[in-house]
Amino acid sequence: MLGTFFKYIISGSIASIVHLFVLIFLVELFSVNKVIASAIGFCGATFVNYNLQYHWAFSMKGSPHGFFFRRYLMVTLIMLGVNMFIFWWFITYWMIYYFWAQFWAMGIVVLLNFTANRYYTFRKK
Q: 57-86 burial by CB neighbour count: b if 16+ within 10 A, else e? A: bbebeeeeeeebeebbeebbeebbeebbeb
pTM as predicted: 0.88
- Average pLDDT of 44-65? 88
Averaged pLDDT score across all residues of the chain? 93
- Average pLDDT of 67-87? 94
Instruction: Lowest mean pLDDT of 26-30, 44-48, 58-62, 96-100, name the range.
Output: 58-62
Q: What is the pLDDT of residue 1?
A: 64
